[in-house]
Structure 1
């Protein structure tokens, strides 16, 4: 009797990105809610990197640098909205801006130094 009926080697394994997205959102929310700068930045980096990873893996984007740049611009706009309004959310806005900058720098470093591995079958 087959242990995994209907499955064969032609199907890929499950993607790890949804778990990291699901962890990045609450970590960043806890950091933003309780005004914990490193936790907010780390959670936003985990969330942003995972979103870009899942977009690349599923084939929606061909270049990771464009996806990272677009997400960094969205984070930057959101962070600027938080930091430069009259509401007392300045440190939270700075956390989102810092995450946007680190995400963009990480995307550039990834694009420059990590070579895409081609699989040959």
Structure 2
């Protein structure tokens, strides 16, 4: 008789990403709201990196590098709107653009330098 009927080692019981998404959103919002550059960039990196992990884990992307680049483009667009449309939001826009630049660099470096795994 099985000790845990109905459970299989094939399926993971829980994903590690949702708590990081839940932390990334308020950290990024606090940094952007109170104009704290480092906190805003860190929160956006945590949020976008966690979403990328969820996308990869769900099987919507083969690697994590291209979704990182997509999030980088989105952050560039939002940061550009913030930085170049209102004088009061310039540093906040620069924080969003900086997070996008870091994500873009990670996406490009990962695509170029991380070897592809052989399928099992």
**Structure 1 length-normalised TM:** 0.86
Task: Provide the aligned C-alpha RMSD in A.
Answer: 2.0
For the pair 1:79 / 2:69, whether they are aligned, the reply is no
For the pair 1:31 / 2:21, whether they are aligned, the reply is no
Alpha-carbon displacement from aligned partner over 1:36-87 (angstroms, at most 9, x marks no partner): 0000000101111111111111111224332111111110000000000135
Structure 2 residue matching 1:88: 3-state secondary structure: helix
Matched pairs, number:
120
1: CA distance, partners of 2:96 / 2:62: 26
1: CA distance, partners of 2:89 / 2:13: 42
Deviates more, 1:108-117 or 1:48-57: 108-117
Assess, with a 3 A threshold, how the Cα gap between structure 1 residues 117 and 16 changes in structure 2: closer, same or farther. Answer: farther
**Structure 2 length-normalised TM:** 0.87
1: CA distance, partners of 2:5 / 2:83: 54
